[in-house]
Structure 1
Amino acid sequence: MRIALAPMEGVVDARMRQMITAVGGIDWCVTEFVRVTDRLLPPKVFHALAPELASGWTTASGTPVRLQLLGGDPTCMAENAARAAELGAPVIDLNFGCPAKIVNRNRGGAVLLDDPALLHRIVSAVRASVPMRVPVTAKMRLGYADTSRALDCARALADGGAAEMVVHARTRADGYNPPAYWHWIARIAEVVSVPVYANGEVWSVADWRRCRAESGVDNFMLGRGLVARPDLARHIHAAAKGQACMPLDWTDLVVMMGAYWQTLRAQVPERHAPGRLKQWVFALSRHYPEAQAFFLEIRRGRDCVQLDSAVAAQVAAAKNQPGFAVRAAA
């Protein structure tokens, strides 16, 4: 079984990838998408979205990072894939799942699922443009407005040369609204000969068990579930082996939050840093009552100096908890 961290645009950037992969249990992760339109992008674009290329395409904890491209022009996608391979990208991943309106209006992401023949041309062009040692993979949804072309799209990706595919078990019209239709993943896995990863609505070990049973696959990609519970992949791996796993408690997360906030302060413009912090704390509130309280405290905060104090107070309180030194040493 393999578990991947999803490439969530605007959420799972290099900072979040490093923080979550450091917790453990993740076999590989993917960059936010590099938007390809009508030109060959300069190397600085790839460096900006994939700073891990400077460290062997792994996070600091050693988790492999794949480079994701998004676009609808086969030739331009192929040219940019070739450049990414020249920069050392170990895997080229293609995004056919993004539901964002602005992306879809510009012929990128999930809207391409209405044209399986175009999917095939894009994957084939990219596969031909990069060395055979560089796998090409793809992520898709079940369709744009409906599921009528889901199997055709999956076949198009596999026949075009995709070595693996991730299936987000919803259409673009479904957005991120539950449920995820995991049984469709089983249908797709039956018609392609490449490994299929299940994606969508896995928030807990119990969800993973149901997803595995309905999808019939052994590989999974987790997105919002891992952002909300960074140790979820570790728990799933343990459950698959019939083992127990020590959970992260709020104290652990506060220490992570303190380091994350310092990274945001150093690397992100002040007008954007508070939003990134609040976005993560809100996600954590799904599982941690303490996060709910902290989010209410900081939700209106826009001043980084005020947030410095709020985060520092949380970290200080966490370090004063009984047993903190023992957990930190472990």
Structure 2
Amino acid sequence: MAILLAPMEGLLDYALRDTLTRVGGIDLCVSEFIRVTGTLLPERVFYRVLPELEQGGRTAAGVPVRAQLMGSDPACLAENAARLAGLGPAGIDLNFGCPAKVVNRHGGGAALLQDPELLQRIVSAVRRAVPAAMPVSAKMRLGFDDDRRAEACAQAIEAGGANQLVVHARTRAQGYRPPAYWDRIADICQAVRLPVVANGEVWSVADARRCLRESGCADLMLGRGMVADPGLALAILADQGRAGGRPETGWDELRPLLVLFWQRVVERIEPRARHGRLKQWLNYLRRRHPEAEAAYQALRTVNDTRVLEAWLDEQQSAQPGPVLACA
């Protein structure tokens, strides 16, 4: 099986991709969306969202990263995809799933699921614009207000020439509210021949096992579940009897990751937003680790960098975790 790391605007960016892929178990990442709105973007925009372009389209741990584009104009998306392809990402991904109202009002993201014919034209234009050897994939939800067009949208994406389809098993209207309807992904798998990856509401090994069974998929994309439990991909691999998996990743192994994450945040993120990024991750980690709950409560009102970095120094000097790849 393959396990992909999801694109999540405002959460799963370069800093967290770099950090989580060092733990292991992730085969491919997809970047946050790059918004295309009628102009050919300068290369600096692509590098800002996807700094991995500076290192061969891979994270420091060697995991390939596809660049995700979001827009509704086939010609403009194709033009930007061609420029982006020349910078060497591990592929081009197309966003047909973002549920944000501001995005949908402008006809992007999940709003495109109301027009399967336009989906096909977008995928086809991008497929023609990039080298034949470069993968073109797409990520969609089950629909906009309902899931009646789910199969038709998947078939349109396939007809456009996509190499892979990720399906988030909820509609735009359902947002991120549980449950995810993994059985509807199975219906989509029956309607197309291209590889389908299941996504949505996988927080644990038990969730993954059930998602694979109900969706009929061989591959998974993890988002918030991997942020909350950085060892989740390895634990899923172990549960599936796959080489390289292991059932537990403890807090002591995560301590150096927090320090590394902060280093990446400082490198790329403006000072006023840095504290929030660390607290945001601790907020997710406390779902799985009691130690993260204690840390979050201690730091959630702290806006003094000296205090925060003193706490990180304590993590660095605590019992060391395993050696991480490509430090």
Do residues 220 (structure 1) and 226 (structure 2) align? no
> What secondary structure does 2:39 align onto?
coil
Aligned to 1:193: 193
Aligned to 2:288: 287
Aligned to 1:266: 267
Quick check: 1:5–1:222 contact (8 Å CA) kept in 2? yes
Aligned to 1:115: 115
Aligned to 1:85: 85
Q: Could you tell me how far 1:329 is from its partner in structure 2?
A: 6.2
> What secondary structure does 2:119 align onto?
helix
Aligned to 1:141: 141
Which amino acid counterpart does residue 94 of structure 1 have in structure 2? L
Q: Could you tell me how far 1:306 is from its partner in structure 2?
A: 2.2
Aligned to 2:11: 11
> What secondary structure does 2:120 align onto?
helix
The 1-side partners of 2:306 and 2:154 are apart by 49
> Structure 1, residues 114-155: CA drift from partner, whole Å, max 9, x if none?
111111111111111112111210000001111011111111
> Structure 1, residues 211-254: CA drift from partner, whole Å, max 9, x if none?
01100110110000111111111111111117872522112212
Quick check: 2:237–2:246 contact (8 Å CA) kept in 1? no
Aligned to 1:257: 258
Q: How many residues align?
A: 323
TM-score, scaled relative to structure 1: 0.94
Q: Could you tell me how far 1:100 is from its partner in structure 2?
A: 1.1
> What secondary structure does 1:33 align onto?
strand
Structure 1 unaligned regions, length at least 5: none
User: Is 33-42 or 240-249 further displaced after alignment?
Assistant: 240-249
> Structure 1, residues 35-63: CA drift from partner, whole Å, max 9, x if none?
00010000001111111111111111110
The 1-side partners of 2:109 and 2:265 are apart by 28
Q: 1:196 to 1:329 in 2, by over 3 A?
A: closer
Do residues 58 (structure 1) and 58 (structure 2) align? yes
> What secondary structure does 2:271 align onto?
coil
Aligned to 1:69: 69
The 2-side partners of 1:314 and 1:34 are apart by 34
The 2-side partners of 1:109 and 1:133 are apart by 26
Q: Could you tell me how far 1:89 is from its partner in structure 2?
A: 2.5
Q: 1:144 to 1:44 in 2, by over 3 A?
A: same
Q: Could you tell me how far 1:310 is from its partner in structure 2?
A: 2.5
Q: 1:99 to 1:329 in 2, by over 3 A?
A: closer
Quick check: 2:96–2:113 contact (8 Å CA) kept in 1? yes
The 1-side partners of 2:181 and 2:323 are apart by 43
Aligned to 1:152: 152
Which amino acid counterpart does residue 21 of structure 2 have in structure 1? T
Structure 2 unaligned regions, length at least 5: none
TM-score, scaled relative to structure 2: 0.95
Q: 1:120 to 1:329 in 2, by over 3 A?
A: closer
Aligned to 1:38: 38
Q: Could you tell me how far 1:181 is from its partner in structure 2?
A: 0.1
Superposition RMSD in Å: 1.5
User: Is 291-300 or 271-280 further displaced after alignment?
Assistant: 291-300
Aligned to 1:21: 21
Quick check: 1:270–1:304 contact (8 Å CA) kept in 2? no
Q: 1:108 to 1:186 in 2, by over 3 A?
A: same
> Structure 1, residues 197-217: CA drift from partner, whole Å, max 9, x if none?
000011111101110110011
The 2-side partners of 1:186 and 1:103 are apart by 28
The 2-side partners of 1:304 and 1:145 are apart by 44
Q: Could you tell me how far 1:88 is from its partner in structure 2?
A: 1.8
Which amino acid counterpart does residue 19 of structure 2 have in structure 1? M
